[in-house]
Structure 1
């Protein structure tokens, strides 16, 4: 957490030194701050952990936006065509997320993608109930959601 604060501080210092307060310059400052931290403090365990999380975060963002695009296209196709291909259903997905924060983030990520909606969490916090718009193959749907959960947990832990 301290490394993230340092990285943000270095990015803000970069913006102040260059005098350009744009999103692109903030991103450039963040990348430069990341490189400075990697070169100067990269051997400390907490900084090393942070240095691994940043690429995972950007990889997750790219993955999530791709999944978001695909699910938007599938729902839009179904809405715009005369025949509906929906086969809605509710599935019970076992959770690897353990804390309330992890479960909340995973449930919200699932609800953000069109065609899926998180409904409830079991009382023991081991199962997440999800309404799925396209339940053609239950196991394939659970596998794809588990990939999303695993990638999110890589960033969170």
Structure 2
């Protein structure tokens, strides 16, 4: 059986073929129209209903992560460019809600992609992720922001 993403891509390709314009903009329009068609016409089928909710979550997560990435880059750049040393590095043990190897890998990589944090290791029972943090002013606040990142990522993955 063809999945909802494949159907969406197929509908986008058909749109591009019918319009005769093979551009990135037209592909995006075709994907958006295909998504609307699938979300509305096939909303009674569980696989397609799940797809209809995951696409907006994924788009919101990408926007959220890009914003976090920009803020982290600005914080690190400010610290590098100013003479005052604001860093208070440390290692924290972050309890994971992610359970599968894939979820843990994605969460750890998202944390490592953000400047100022680096995933070091996962405990042998896969319940704790050890993270090096450059700005460890308030450990509870750091854990809270990482928990929010993990929660948003797991919303998309599950």
Q: TM-score of the superposition, structure 2-length normalised? A: 0.96
Q: How does 1:33-112 map to 2 (within 5 A)?
A: 33-112=34-113
Deviations 1:29-53 (A, max 9, x none): 1110001102210111111111000
Structure 1, residues 68-127: CA drift from partner, whole Å, max 9, x if none? 000000000000000110000000000011110010000110010100000000011000
Corresponding pairs, count: 157
For residue 19 of structure 1, report the CA deviation from its aligned partner. 2.6
Runs of 4+ in 1 over 3 A off after TM superposition: none
- Aligned-partner Cα distance in 1 for 2:127–2:103: 12
Question: 1-side partners of 2:39 and 2:109: how far apart?
Answer: 32
> Greater CA deviation, 38-47 or 98-107?
38-47
For 2:34, what is the secondary structure of its paired residue? helix
Q: Distance in 2 between matches of 1:109 and 1:22?
A: 31
Distance 1:94 1:105 in 2: 15
List alignment gaps of at least 5 residues for structure 1: none
Q: Structure 1 residue 139: deviation in Å?
A: 0.6
Segments of structure 2 that go 5 or more residues without pairing to the other structure are none
Find the counterpart in structure 1 of residue 4 from structure 2: 3
Q: Give the alignment's Cα RMSD to 1 decimal.
A: 1.1
Relative to the length of structure 1, the TM-score reads 0.96
Whole-Å separation in 2 of the counterparts to 1:140 and 1:129: 16
Q: Distance in 2 between matches of 1:84 and 1:148?
A: 27
The equivalent of 1:22 in structure 2 is: 23
Tell me which moved more, 145-154 or 38-47: 38-47
